[in-house]
Amino acid sequence: MKFSTKIGVSFLALSLILGGVFTSLLAFRSYDFIVSKSRMHLETLAFNAMDKFSRFMYERQLNLVEMSNRPIFRSRKTTLVELQQTLLKEAKTNPLFSSISIFDLDRIRLADSQNLNLGKQDPLHSHWQDILSGQLSTASSIELSSSLNMPTFYFAAPIYDEENKPFRALVMRVTPTELNGIFNKQLQGSSIEDYNWDLIDNSGRLLYSSHQPKGIFKTDMSLFTDHINSQPDQNFGNYFITDPANGQEKFVVFVREQGYLGYHSNDMILLLHIPSDIAFKSALEYSRKSIEIFLFFAIILALIGLWYGRKMAHPIKKLQQAVARYGKGDDEPDLVVNSNDEIGELTLEFKKMIKARKLAEDTLERVWEQSLESRKIESLGYLTEGVCHEILNPLNIMSIQIQMLSKKYKDTLKIEHSFETLNHQIDRIHGTVTSLQDLANISGAQKADVQINDLLEKTLELVVNSPKNQNIVFIKNFSPDLPQACLDLHEVMQAFYQVLQNALEAMPQGGKLTIQTGHYQDARGVKIIEVRLTDTGVGISKENLSKVMEPFYSTKPTLYRVGMGLSLCQKNIVKNGGRVRIESEEGQGTTVIFELPMKQNLKME
């Protein structure tokens, strides 16, 4: 048996012992005490039901106030058709009201959610007195509706125009059908099945009943109200009565309406009545049977718990001794597993822990060696960075000299072709070394406050003087109030330069290159500086557009391509907290969009 089962049985035995003692003491208490507890429970159920009813009525009052203040109802320009359409929509979205009507102050019905009695004068109900005096009327008028054939709670409010003068009235009707769900829900969790409830007003008039719907406004409730009126200072209470119809004794709980927040109607009273033998049946049965059952099991399980308690203590003590020896330096304490429960599993895990510790000590030296290898690789990265730098300087000098010779001997076709081949090869070496240098760069970015417009001007100076600039028209559209950004100058300028060079290559026959800057605030509230570089070149096909950011991908001829430009461009921008997007169609040109974070301590104008 599992150790947890042993523990469970022991605690079950202890629980039953204590439960038996407690139940025995409770059973010896008087019958009146048990009845008193049951009374309190039923009073709580009835009180909660009445509270939820008051809350329900309060929410309808809020609906009334909110709707009466809507501009469409307060405007004298609103037509009757608009009023009628609004009420029809409201009836669909708020089904808790059986009907919603708008009257003028002569009680003529102007609009109705059920299209009933339009143009007719409403009888002078009691709620009209409140409306004409400029007050809310919330369920102060409760009458039997001829159209609905059930009691109806009226909620009414005057409607004021834009000049705060009353000129209309909003009247809503609520039937008590919702109350069934409210009251019955309170008793669903209890063991009481045979119960009835009634709702009466302070005059004893039956407003709603769960068991005699035909008696509403007709049944004499004096049998109940006499008892209630004898306790005028109590908001809730209980008593016993004998039903004259069948002679059955009933237990009755009454709760007076207390209102909810700012709502209070007309002192309605909730009656919950249950047959006495049903109301206290469980308490009586518990009192009679609990002693017999609990005392029997308490004795049996107490003996079982004592036996299991002793059996559990033995393996725990052995494990404790082994742990103590291990703590004193014994790497292989004598542990014998004799049980298949959690204690046995714990012992096995303890043995595994000892072996794992030895294994960890053996591998510690290997981990240290791997750490040394990692440092060697890091040092190699620094070395690679330096070597790349030394290669790039002579390459740049060679490229400049070749360009100068190419201009001097441009009329000689073979020499010009050789210069062109040399330039291509130098560009290829330059691209590969630059990519290797960027990948090997392990130093942190050196950021500074920069003005993006100035950075683009410096980059354009390099591009304009490039030999690739053939018949290209540069259009600059810089935002004059562009805020500063905190960026790594080298990385961002390198990204701009790479995209500008790609744009020149995309327009071998010439074209327009537009450079535009601006700033905005996105939906998350982040302030962004945007740079758009748009060319009128060959564009990018849909199948290639999703690949251009991948390392070593290029659409250039195999002999000249490296494929690291846009990949490194994206890497540099991401390192500076921004992102790069590309929009392009084949034959329609390309737009590269840079989104860079604005300096945090500056606010956008």
Give the domains, in start order, of the chain with CATH numbers: 69-178 (3.30.450.20), 367-443 (1.10.287), 445-597 (3.30.565.10)
Residue 161 pLDDT class (50, 70, 90 cuts): very high
Q: Does the pLDDT at position 68 exceed 90?
A: yes
pLDDT confidence tier of residue 561, bands split at 50, 70 and 90: very low
Angle (nearest 5°) at CA 39 between 206 and 205? 10
Q: What percent of the chain has pLDDT over 90?
A: 17
Task: Give mean pLDDT, residues 472-478.
Answer: 91
Tokens standing for residue 140: 């102060």
Band the pLDDT of 41: cuts 50, 70, 90.
confident
User: Which pLDDT does position 382 carry in this prediction?
Assistant: 43
Q: Which CA distances in Å does 287 have to 13, 38, 192?
A: 21, 13, 18
Contacts 24+ apart (CB under 8 A), 577-585: 580/495, 580/549, 582/540, 582/545, 582/548, 582/549, 584/539, 584/540, 584/545, 585/539, 585/540
Q: Are strands 589-597 and 527-535 parallel, antiparallel or unpaired?
A: antiparallel
Over 50: is that where the pLDDT of 494 sits?
yes
Identity of the amino acid at 166: P
Q: What is the band of 302 on the pLDDT scale with cuts at 50, 70, 90?
A: low
Crossing angle of the two packed helices 413-440 and 342-408, in degrees rounded to 10: 160
Q: Please give the pLDDT value at position 563.
A: 46
> What pLDDT, on a 0 to 100 scale, did the predictor assign at position 410?
64
The pairs formed by 453-459 with CB atoms below 8 angstroms and a separation of 24 or more are 453/478, 453/479, 453/482, 453/517, 455/489, 455/492, 455/493, 455/496, 456/496, 456/515, 456/517, 456/531, 458/493, 459/493, 459/496, 459/497, 459/500
pTM of the model: 0.44
Contact status, residue 338 vs residue 344, Cβ threshold 8 Å: yes
What is the C-alpha to C-alpha distance for residues 119 and 78, in angstroms, rounded to an integer?
A: 17
pLDDT of residue 371: 53
pLDDT tens column, 96-132: 888 899 999 999 999 999 888 899 999 888 889 989 9
Residue 446 pLDDT grade (very low, low, confident, very high; cuts 50, 70, 90): confident
Mean per-residue pLDDT, 423-434? 69
Q: Residue 402: pLDDT above 90? A: no
Check residues 492 and 398 and name the one with the higher pLDDT: 492
Reported as a pLDDT band with limits 50, 70 and 90, residue 200 is: confident
**pLDDT for residue 293:** 67
d(CA 528, CA 518): 9
pLDDT in the model for residue 605: 41
Helix axes 565-575, 413-440, angle to 10 degrees: 40
pLDDT higher than 60, residue 72: yes
Q: Considering only CA atoms, give the Rg of the chain.
A: 45
Structure tokens at 339: 């049980």
CA gap 446, 562 in Å, rounded: 27
| 497-540 pLDDT tens trace | 888 888 888 888 889 999 999 998 888 888 899 999 999 998 88
Q: What's the rounded Cα separation, in Å, for the pair 486 and 601? A: 10
Higher pLDDT, 361 or 52: 52
Top-confidence range, 29-43, 196-210, 348-362, 546-560: 196-210
Distance CA 8, CA 338 (A): 21
- Region 422-429: what's the mean pLDDT? 71
pLDDT of residue 149 exceeding 70, the answer is yes
**pLDDT grade, residue 85 (50/70/90)?**
very high
Cβ–Cβ under 8 Å, residues 341 and 3:
yes
CA distance 51 to 60: 14
% the chain with pLDDT above 70: 66
d(CA 505, CA 427): 13
Q: What is the pLDDT of residue 38?
A: 76
The answer to whether 243 touches 251, Cβ cutoff 8 Å, is no
Kindly list the strands in the beta sheet with 511-521, ordered across the sheet, starting from the edge strand earlier in the chain.
Answer: 472-477, 511-521, 527-535, 589-597, 579-585
Rounded Cα–Cα distance for residues 154 and 136 (Å):
11
For residue 9, the model assigns a pLDDT of 63
Residues 425, 419: Cα–Cα separation, whole Å? 10
CA–CA distance from 503 to each of 264, 443, 468, 506, 508 (Å)?
A: 76, 30, 10, 5, 9
pLDDT, the chain, mean: 77
Q: Is the pLDDT of residue 374 over 50?
A: no
Find out whether 513 and 503 touch, Cβ atoms under 8 Å: yes
144: pLDDT strictly greater than 70:
yes
Reported confidence tier of residue 560, pLDDT bands at 50, 70, 90: very low
What was the pLDDT predicted at 121?
93
Max mean pLDDT among 254-263, 304-313, 408-417, 431-440 falls in 254-263
Q: Tell me: pLDDT of 331 over 70.
A: no
Residue 444 has pLDDT above 70, yes or no: no
Cα angle: 17, vertex 20, 21; to 5 degrees: 90
State yes or no: pLDDT of 20 exceeds 70: no
Residues 174 and 94 sit within 8 Å (Cβ to Cβ): no
3-state helix, strand, coil in the chain (%, to 5): 50, 20, 30
Name the one residue in this structure whose structure tokens are 């890497």: 571
Q: Which two tokens stand for residue 223?
A: 């049998």
